[in-house]
Structure 1
Amino acid sequence: MSSQDPTAEAQPPEITQEAVDQLVEQAVEAFAAASTLEELKQARLAHLGDRAPLSLANRSIGQLPKEQKKDAGRIVGQAKGRVGQVLAQREEVLQAERAEQILREETVDVTAVPARRPVGSRHPVELMLQRMSEIFVGLGWEIAEGPEVEAEWFNFDALNFDADHPARAEADTFYVEPPERNLVIRTHTSPVQARALLERGAPLYVAVPGKVGRTDEIDATHLPVFHQIEGLAVDRGLTMAHLKGTLDRFARELFGEGITTRLRPNFFPFTEPSAEMDFLCTVCRGEDASCRTCGGTGWIEWGGCGMVNPNVLRACGLDPEVYSGFAFGMGVERAMIFRNQVGDLRDLVEGDARFNTNFTVEV
């Protein structure tokens, strides 16, 4: 067989009844052999396309003598009609088969039990921080934030810590290298007190939720990295009575009606006078001497508080003869233990998603 130019124009077939019937038979066989719509499309192009024999024969009619055109046109026209009819029938069959296949493959059994996929949840500590913050926003306070890597001056000096105060020791505080930068992982959220006073001045009412770090070993009641929320109010004429009222309102909103606080004298460098604050036991409400939650005392230790030390006000550029203020701080994880009956702080940091999902709904 001699080689031919693939781009050369195909020669039209002879227009006789026998030759055209053979072309029709070939087209019908090709359509019948097509098992998919894509295969049928290829067969259609091969037998009815622009370069198909029947199409070439149809175009060649114009070159025939006048007396042959009528018969040739009839033969080719009838052939194309038969081929088109067979094509339409085969296409209808394949369309129906395809629709049935799609219906079979994509059918959804509405009676089947759906697969349960685990749903993510926010961390319970984050939820508690948000809950506490919302209480103070409801009181008209603002939310303030500060850096977790803090300058030693803000963390200690501005808050009236002496140079030899035990809290400055490496046994209690994480220092950031190199030492000459005087940076620490903040040991409390109190540095934001100084930052807020310097940036905003007075009067000032802010709550400061955030992460802090101390060199504690991990156990059921201690974590080296935990969360606190700090409260600071500075204005004219504030007293311990305002502090007590704020703490009582906060305890009631967080733990429920009837929960109050009490203050016990203590010492903190940044407040004077200072106090430890307790809240009424949420389990026995002070009525069970054998209560394991409060040890029978009726009260649970919560945090520290007091009136802002005048030295702190002076360090932040305020006149303590004009302004007074109160501050308090408590551990978020500790509040969560008693509000949600969490038995072990290590559960909060072990990353067990099953534990987290118990706190997705706030009641």
Structure 2
Amino acid sequence: MYYVKNERNGEEIHDPQLNLAIEYYLLNEVVLDEPILLFYINDNSIIIGRNQNTYEEVNTDYVEENDVTVVRRFSGGGAVYHDMGVLNFCFLTKDDGQSFRDFKKFTTPVINALHQMGVDGAELRGRNDLVIDGKKFSGNAMYAKNGRLTSHGTLMFDSQIEAVVSALKPKKHKLESKGIKSIRSRVTNIKPFLDDSYQYMNAKDFRDKLLLYIFDTDKSEDIKEYVLTEEDWKKIDAFADQYTANWDWNYGKSPAFDMERSERLSVGTVEVKMNVRKGVLEDIRIYGDFFGLGEIEDVENKLKGIAYNKESIKKAVEEIDIHKYFGQMDSQELVNLLY
């Protein structure tokens, strides 16, 4: 495995727009003979899932008042808050056709390292969360394209949890489905659970220690690296300009809709916004924290223009590869949500 430092001219990058651009560039254009590991720490930011409605996920007043950067990533899943106390990890590898949604495969090295540092209660629970004694410290997501796969996640090492609470707007039914009353009661930092010998660490120290555990070495010089070149950086900058630093990508135009439905389904929260005119479904947007392959726009286009009745909706949905776009969900769930 190769490790990539997110450094430019010797300076570590904390801009989330650039860090996510690095990740996407490595996925699409850097093919090595072994998998790649990328770590990064972002300044105050909210990273939202590929299919989420930004305005529904973030507290816009808090974001504007506290200079929080909002960036949309290319993977599904839910919104997460980043600050200098959150370490983000990313494994990039060849897509073997069987690993998508297999979060255990990619989180096990992190969990094993935490166990060695005294965090005995760290485990993968549910679809994609890492928890300690039932409290979440890591959310994970995946993205696959052109035969390549990335699995990435957050590690709340010493984050400002009150900022997490203030910056995000969780769906009420999402909290209810997990039997909890608030974000504050659901999340935790890693640092309090570490052995005393590790209490000196900040997020960067934690990253360096994780690296040694993951690469099974006592010396950082033994870690194999791929170093980003100036040519790499030109392409990373271009990608950031087009996507991660682009307002239209991160927020997007949100046209007015006259019908809205949101439910917690078997694959996560799915929200639909629709315009129906004279019995025809003229426009539709689908949002959510589900993990799918392909572009959700394909599903939207399949539904636009059909008669808005249960028979027509059911017929159109039957022609959609539900598992590809949403995960292991029954097509009837989508029909019931739409009508």
Instruction: Give the TM-score normalised by structure 2.
Output: 0.31
Question: Which one has a bigger Cα radius of gyration?
Answer: 1
**As a proportion of its length, which structure holds more helix?**
1
Instruction: Give the TM-score normalised by structure 1.
Output: 0.29
